[in-house]
Amino acid sequence: MSRKLKRKKSLWYRIHQNEKVQSAETVLLPLLFGFLFMIMWQTQKLHTLLHTDTFTLPLPSRILTIIADNSDKIMLNVNATVIVTLAGLVAGSLIGYGIAVLAALFPKWGSCGLKIIAAFNAIPIVALAPVMTNWTKDVSNHADIRSMVAKIMVVTIVCIANMSINAYRGLTELKPFSEDLMCSYAASKRVTLIKLRLPNSVPYIFTALKVAVPSSVISALVSEYFAEYIVGVGRQIRENIVLAQYSSAWAYIVVACLIGIIMYAVLMIAQSFMLKKRA
């Protein structure tokens, strides 16, 4: 019998298929791209490519200098933005998850309710923020409290729809025959919810949060543009652009990006910890 000769895989293919190499690539390649991008920016190659100048697009060294020299003021605005982001994210996620639970327990009404909630995604933040600012003008006599409530409401509304839709999938898309098994044990709706539906929805919660975290940061920044009280990273971006202080505006833009990156990194760490324990 003639033996079939197996083609030996190349060294490059075997290296590339290694799990450790693939994990390293997911970190090293973005870092390499970012490093090359920063070199092009600092050496003004990017300015030549985009046909701009260092006044409109300041050099990274200039931006870092502004951040270092104004760290106290920047941190004050960062704290205001982070509080709004986290408060709105938590409130929106809890409300969205509660809606998903009700929809899973009462399917006839739940499907209609989810469609209405999904319509929230079509509301532009630039239209929602001024409405909330006017709506909350009688909440308090203090402008900072009124602005805080309005901004948190904007972030909350943005996060509700995403969480409710994804959580509903996790609560209803169960493993085959698992719900039938609970029925065979004569388990009540409450027991089925606690023992089966809620644990099954955990991965879907993190899927929702992967979208909700960046959205909450963006909605907080945009809502600060229209807020009554002049505080927050988003408001400082607007004020500096109006005054043609582009270097300061870019400093706050970099800080806003860092807020989103750090929050997303914390989420990914929490996801790996939680889902690893489930496995």
Question: Which residue has better confidence, 188 or 151?
Answer: 151
Lowest mean pLDDT among 61-75, 78-92, 178-192: 178-192
Would the pTM of this model clear 0.95, i.e. be above it?
A: no
| CA–CA separation, 157 and 120 (whole Å) | 7
| CA–CA separation, 223 and 129 (whole Å) | 5
Within a 13 Å sphere around the CA of 21, how many CA atoms are in the beta-carbon half?
Answer: 8
At residue 160, what is the residue type? I
Whether residue 5 has pLDDT greater than 60 = no
Whether residue 277 has pLDDT greater than 70 = no
Rounded mean pLDDT, 127-148: 84
- What pLDDT is recorded for position 14? 63
Of the candidate CATH numbers 1.20.1070.10, 1.10.3720.10, 1.10.10.10, 3.40.720.10, the domain formed by 69-278 belongs to 1.10.3720.10
- What pLDDT is recorded for position 85? 95
Rounded mean pLDDT, 108-116: 77
